[in-house]
Chains A and B, each alone.
Chain A
């Protein structure tokens, strides 16, 4: 038999009149541009100081963030966010694999997990401020402790769902525990783990801001509090713009990671549909 039997999987291309190089930027920017235009128009027709024109928000954005504040407030925030997410991923996957593979541990812990998951993460911030103080450690712990849950719970489910035949294959060929983990359990659970990571990113961003609203002296959460007290509308809106951009950055990074980790999964799903 030759390899010519190989199935090549190609998705049908939708008929588009828009040239292909323009399609992606259009998908990304069409709606934002429309919103900015509409907003500008409204702010000319019916000016309102609480909703400053996009041009003013843009000015405030440059004025507030494109200077040394970026180094003193934005970068440290992002650093804590990154560290918190990393910690959440490591803890979530590590504990999730353990709990997912050991039955008695799972039975012991699952009710407790349901309890902790039900507690809204922002509520733990004041408690942690009291326990750890309002320093960087507390903020990173808050982000990790809140963002960990979707990853942890999805990892448990993913580990439990490893195919029976794959497990038996691993046993029949006497794979070592470590190889079983790296080459069977984790890859098999990776689609679910990635779904958990995606959820945890937005939780982490929320907690980054909230952790900076308590007893902080820097950071985006702190800044928005200060702007609020001064009725500085345009700068407040500029923070929202900045956070939105951080969210987009996270989404892009996530997509790159997902493309690397789950190439096989997309191919498999396409093959199953074909």
Chain B
């Protein structure tokens, strides 16, 4: 595990009036690490992610990037939203969408270069002139990933990005994320409700409890770095880890049930 901490989430809590969504969330992500956050549905994963991305203010606790407190969206963070269909602008071409966040920072020629490189990195080099609605769901999410990659962030925040695509596309996109992570050396924070996905993708898995949410477990995934949909998922260690995470989440649900 990389020893340098890039992102630090420290005793984060979020209340909406009487409703306590997040109680006490603490974890860190090292520079260049790929951390998955997994939890039962309705446990406030998206809330947590929005707070980390600076889109939402926490009630208590802090988020730090490189030791500096994050209170607003940060130029070194890029977000991939779950709702790719609504996060891409239908009035802009794929290229226009990817270049939109670069408009105020990068001259046109460089913008074009970066968007093209990012689109090629996600396998959409040929689709730059198309509109998002001319593409399949999986391809639209690739565009959203390309937009985040072209932004050249230090940390890539992904909020259940593959929840709405079919299984085969999902597997392809998972490999794309591993691939981009390995190639770009970017830190990735990947939120999912899918236990298998979290173990397959992550170098570490942070398991969340039910609301009011705490970190149930912070688990190191000691699978080989080179992963493959067939062989990795067939490893005994993969099965052990996914069973372990599964049990943790079941336990979280049980405890929540008892508390009520």
Contacts and interface: CB of A to CB of B under 8 A. Distances in A.
A9 interface: yes
Contacts of A176: 104
B83 A165 contact: yes
Given A171-B73, A173-B100, A173-B101, A265 B91 contact: yes
Nearest to A182: B103
Interface string A168-181: 11011111100100
Contact of A174 (B87, B92, B101, B136): B101
A172 B133 contact: no
B42 interface: no
Contacts of A3: 124, 126-127, 130
A7 B136 contact: yes
Contacts, number: 96
A244 B199 CA distance: 69
A202 interface: no
A1 interface: yes
A113 B191 CA distance: 46
Given A7-B134, A267-B134, A190 B91 contact: yes
A166 interface: yes
A211 interface: no
Interface stretch (B74-82, B178-186, B215-223, B247-255): B74-82
B21 interface: no
Given A183-B92, A264-B91, A6 B78 contact: no
Given A174-B73, A175-B100, A183 B134 contact: no
A190 B79 CA distance: 26
Contact of B104 (A1, A164, A175, A272): A175
Which of B81, B127, B134 neighbours the largest number of chain A CB atoms within 10 Å of its CB?
B134
Given A172-B79, A183-B100, A5 B133 contact: no
Given A163-B86, A184-B89, A173 B151 contact: yes
Interface residues of A, number: 32
A5 B89 CA distance: 20
Interface in A136-191: 163-166, 168-169, 171-176, 179, 183-184, 187-188, 190
B36 interface: no
Interface string B55-68: 10000000000000
Contacts of B103: 175, 179, 183
Interface string A37-77: 00000000000000000000000000000000000000000
A167 to B, nearest CB: 10
Contacts of A98: none
Contacts of B135: 5-7
B53 interface: yes
A249 interface: no
B134 A173 contact: no
B134 A9 contact: yes
B100 A187 contact: no
B151 A267 contact: no
B77 to A, nearest CB: 8
Chain A contact surface mostly = helix
Given A1-B139, A165-B83, A184-B89, A172 B131 contact: no
Given A163-B86, A190-B91, A267 B131 contact: yes
Interface string B94-121: 0000001101100000000000000000
Interface string B125-149: 0110011011110110010000100
B101 A175 contact: yes
A271 B136 CA distance: 10
A5 to B, nearest CB: 5
Given A179-B100, A179-B104, A268 B138 contact: no
A176 B104 CA distance: 7
Given A6-B134, A165-B86, A175-B101, A187 B91 contact: yes
B4 interface: no
Nearest to B127: A3
Contacts of A165: 81, 83, 86-87
Contacts of B90: 264-265, 268
B139 A183 contact: no
Nearest to A7: B134
Considering the complex of A and B, which 6 residue pairs feature the smallest CB-CB distances, nearest first?
Answer: A173-B101, A165-B86, A187-B91, A271-B133, A3-B126, A172-B79
19 contacts: A1-B123, A3-B126, A6-B139, A7-B135, A163-B86, A164-B86, A165-B83, A168-B50, A168-B81, A171-B55, A172-B54, A174-B73, A179-B103, A184-B89, A188-B89, A190-B91, A264-B91, A264-B131, A264-B133
